[in-house]
Amino acid sequence: MRLIAALLALTLVAIGVGALAGLQLFASAERIADAKKNAPAPPIASSYAGSARLRKLSPIVTNLAAPANNWARVEASMVFDGISEEDAGILAAHISEDIVIYLRSATAAQFEGARGLQHLRDDLSERASVRSSGKVRELIIETLVIQ
């Protein structure tokens, strides 16, 4: 009987301590949430210089090397620096041609998974950088559809 009474007392003490700890945690979480809500958002740091601009390339649709019935559609943008808007338009056309040439020599299996997409992005960015003599900083793939 004493054992049951001791276990009951310990259970009640544990419930009380747990309730107090829960209330303390809830109050501190509420204070932190209010502080974050009222604090101003930190500015987002850009990895590009102030003169960098973005130009959207026209959508590219072409067939792949293998299998012959697979087609790819790519929408991309280029981040460039130090080029006039006219030259950027000409450069965008040349980069689009390079993308078509690259895709026609590739297979659908090369683009499978995250690693394949990363390799595609790196290869196309490198080609764009070489084509522009380093004035294109990055080629951003917005959409890639293979069917």
Q: How confident is the model at residue 99 (pLDDT cuts 50, 70, 90)?
A: very high
The residue segments making up the domain with residue 26 are 1-42
Look at residue 17 and tell me whether its pLDDT is greater than 90: yes
User: How many domains does the chain contain in total?
Assistant: 2
Look at residue 12 and tell me whether its pLDDT is greater than 80: yes
Mean pLDDT of 96-108: 94
- What local confidence, expressed as pLDDT, does residue 71 receive? 93
- If you compute the radius of gyration of the chain from its CA atoms, what whole number of angstroms results? 29
**30-77 per-position pLDDT tens digit:** 999 988 888 887 777 777 767 889 999 999 999 999 888 899 999 999
CATH (domain of 66): 3.30.479.30
Within a domain: 47: no
Within a domain: 8: yes
Is residue 21 located within the same domain as residue 75?
A: no
What mean pLDDT is reported for the chain?
A: 91
Is residue 23 located within the same domain as residue 71?
A: no
